[in-house]
Amino acid sequence: MVIYCSLLLLSLLSGQLNANPGVKVRITQKGLEYAKEVGLEILKQNMEKEHFPDLSGYEKFGLGNVKYNISRIHVTAVEFPSASISLIPGTGIKLVIGNASLTIDMNWNIRTWMFKDSGRGTVHISKVFVTAIFSTPLDNMGHTSISLTSCRTTSGDIDIKLNGKSGFLHNFFIKYLKKPIHRRLVTNSCPNIRSGIQLIDEDLRSLNVLMPIDDLAEVDYSLNSLPAIFQPFIDLDLKGTVYPAGNYTGPPYVASPFAIPDQSDSMLYLAFSEYFFQTSSFAYYTAGAFNITITEETCSYFNISTEIFGSIIPEVAKYSVIPYPVMLKLMATEVPIISLEEDSFTVEIQGSMEVFAVLPDSTTQSLFTMNITANTSIALNIFDQKLMGSLCLNR
């Protein structure tokens, strides 16, 4: 079954185990309930699409045997009226499905030494109970995985309706068909669940260690440690290191410990440490993202000439009697410093701005260079279900 797949499943690959995380993810009981509903719906759809292998064998009958064959088995309806999911601290996730039912269409064939018959049939199985416990171990490469550690299935009533030639014998046939159907259900339910979990586990292990943010940077979201499972939530510690695209040299920062506030009202919480933003800044600085050239061609709102600068800086007016278009080159000279505050974060940028005159032959002439220091505070708020930011230039 898919349990949050894969947004949860976000918690994957290699990393230095037991180091402080850059990102924390909290999945609460509400998140698990949502995942349960989505997962059970996917399970129902998959069961109704699947065609099961034929079932054949024999049952003892007096001095002989009743040979049976059940083929073209197809689930037409599945109901999960009662299902719950809960966390077992330090162990894993417990899923309980109660009073489930399913309806199956099939072809049947029965033969004894005295008579034989065949036809179509419908099987309704009710009062099915499944209890499964899943664990989330971590391999030596830092991949998280999911495995079935405990499973128990019980089934109650099986009602069979047969269509065939010898209608008066159908009640006789039914009791010999109930046994193998019940046996197959009880013996195969947990192995089938285990097979489904193994497929999910393979998908988890195949996920890439790095996720591109854009053309300039990638983020490593591997697990730093085993998922921490508590009664009301699961906490995932992710490495949360941002690298320049294709360059995985460790950044010159060390993650400090931090914690998510003790809350569980929402389905999912994401917490980003200062380390995450520091490595982001370093990655984009290394990739040259803070080097910007502004011209009239690249920005339609930019329409500045040497005449404007000449009115401010007399040396420019002496050099450029005729007004020429201006080109600006902005460059960060150091890695921008990002600091987290209680309700906002600040960005401090050390840089330079070089101003060029664009001459008629398209060549450029440097006019002057000035150093720039900018300190900006950014506060984030949610308004009308949208994340909004307000910016304040401190200096």
pTM of the model: 0.72
The domain spans of the chain are: 28-206, 290-393
Instruction: Report H helices in the chain.
Output: 5-8, 29-49, 170-206, 274-286, 306-312, 314-319
Q: State the chain's mean pLDDT as an integer.
A: 80
* pLDDT tier for residue 198 given thresholds of 50, 70 and 90: confident
135 forms beta bridges with 147
Which tops the pLDDT comparison, 8 or 182?
A: 182
Rounded CA-CA distance 359/324 in Å is: 6
Which tops the pLDDT comparison, 47 or 286?
A: 286
Rounded CA-CA distance 343/340 in Å is: 8
Residue the block writes with tokens 């921490």: 228
Select from 3.40.1280.10, 3.90.79.10, 3.30.465.10, 3.15.20.10 the CATH code of 290-393: 3.15.20.10
Question: Which tokens is 122 given?
Answer: 């419908």
Longest dimension (CA), the chain: 119
Instruction: Report H helices in 21-123.
Output: 29-49
Exposure of 347 in the CB half-sphere (CA atoms within 13 A)? 17
Rounded CA-CA distance 148/132 in Å is: 7
Pairing mode of beta strands 228-229, 147-154: unpaired
pLDDT digits (tens, 9 = 90+) for 114-160: 777 788 888 898 888 989 998 877 666 556 778 888 998 887 788 88
Which tops the pLDDT comparison, 60 or 6?
A: 60
Pairing mode of beta strands 23-28, 233-238: antiparallel
Residue 224 near residue 200 (C-beta atoms within 8 A) = no
Q: Is the pLDDT of residue 83 over 80?
A: yes
CATH architecture of 28-206: Super Roll (3.15)
pLDDT digits (tens, 9 = 90+) for 327-368: 889 899 999 988 887 777 888 889 998 888 888 888 888 888
Pairing mode of beta strands 210-212, 217-220: antiparallel
Residue 224 near residue 29 (C-beta atoms within 8 A) = no
Q: How many helices (H) and strands (E) does the chain have?
A: 6, 21
Q: What is the full DSSP assignment across 99-143?
A: EEEEEEEEEEEEE-SS-EEEEEEEEEEEEEEEEEEEE--B-TTS-
72 forms beta bridges with none
Rounded CA-CA distance 261/271 in Å is: 9
Strand, helix or coil at 286? helix
Mean pLDDT of 206-221: 84
Residue 96 near residue 130 (C-beta atoms within 8 A) = yes
Q: Which residues of 169-192 are buried (b: 16+ CB within 10 A; e: fewer)?
A: bbeebbebbbebbeebbeeebbee
Mean pLDDT of 70-84: 88
Q: Is the pLDDT of residue 11 over 70?
A: no
